[in-house]
Amino acid sequence: MRALIQRVSEAQVAVEGAVLGEIGPGLLVLVCAMQGDTEAQADKLAAKIAKLRIFRDEADRMNLSVRDVSGAALVVSQFTLAAETKGNRPGFSTAAAPEDGKRLYEHFAAKLQAEGLPVATGRFGADMKVSLVNDGPVTIWLDTES
């Protein structure tokens, strides 16, 4: 699985003008299931994100996790993280099939919640509008294959 995480002061996701999920301080997690991904990989990714120390401590060092700062996660499905960009038009053939992608997306969000985080989500497969205030900015790419 792949994820692009952004430390945020706030973030929200809307579909057709209706806000589906929003958080204050925490993480915006854009996540993509790849072909062959499993629940075990989703579990591993969720555990890593919950423990990743990218929030500032009292010495202004990135030394605290989202759990340590009582932050939340906004989880948004993003199949375009599977983009193959050899040419000028990206291909997405390495992304999981939609039914697998949805299952793993929902499993991942549930696992993050089981890690002790308040979790808000978008809608799998929808045309979503995501807004955020990136804090730092801090943006980190994670891939269970690397």
3-state DSSP call for residue 71?
Answer: coil
Would residue 80 show up in a list of annotated catalytic residues for this protein? yes
- Of 6, 41, 55, 79, which residue is the catalytic one? 79
Beta strand 2-15 with 18-23 is antiparallel
- Of 6, 78, 108, 121, which residue is the catalytic one? 78
Would residue 78 show up in a list of annotated catalytic residues for this protein? yes
Write the CA distances from 11 to 5, 23, 131, 140, 143, integer angstroms. Answer: 12, 5, 6, 16, 22
Q: Return the exposure string of 4-38: e unless at least 16 CB atoms fall within 10 Å of the residue's CB, then b.
A: bbbbbebbbbbeeeeebbebebbbbbbbbbbeebe
Would residue 92 show up in a list of annotated catalytic residues for this protein? no
- Of 80, 94, 108, 124, which residue is the catalytic one? 80
Residues forming the active site: 78-80
